A and B are shown apart, each in its own frame.
Chain A
Amino acid sequence: EVQLVESGGGLVKPGGSLRLSCAASGFTFSSYSMNWVRQAPGKGLEWVSSISSSSSYIYYADSVKGRFTISRDNAKNSLYLQMNSLRAEDTAVYYCARDLKGPQTTWGQGTLVTVSS
């Protein structure tokens, strides 16, 4: 069974840092591009970042560029999101998602990040 499990969320103060992880299982992780998508409380979905299967191509939304870093470790079947200089508006459930283009799209259950003093 294909599974994505996020972890690392929590409460952090403005200006602080947090590292999210996404553990993948049930498929050949190294063959797929991966993404982070977030959803602020009561709001819609917002694409955050994408990374290609071999990490050759990386993209960020303007709202997080320069503050967030996406990475992956194919040997560990894991995706990461390093979040620095966090702001209140970064408060959201963060989902990792496999391949947002086609039938293989799969989402994790999400991890909540709360930025508050």
Chain B
Amino acid sequence: ETGVTQSPTHLIKTRGQQVTLRCSSQSGHNTVSWYQQALGQGPQFIFQYYREEENGRGNFPPRFSGLQFPNYSSELNVNALELDDSALYLCARARRDHEQYFGPGTRLTVT
């Protein structure tokens, strides 16, 4: 049990729509990261938030955006969905110096 939860578990959206994914954590470090994992691939870093501000971003377009709240929860927003956005989206929380713990993920399907 990592103490990281994500909602929803599964989601189906249509191309062009917008989606919001949520992540919450019981406690821990102020850093939360989001990753996208396409089928058969390793997770790809989207961005990272520290104390409610984005402080690192991977190679993802601006239509991927996020928020972090004072209670450790976080959101990932994706606008203008494309078919290639279909993936497992993972939220990770840093607990100690080197350990990152992942939530169960949200499986997004774009049709």
A binds B: no
List chain A positions with a Cβ less than 8 A from chain B.
none
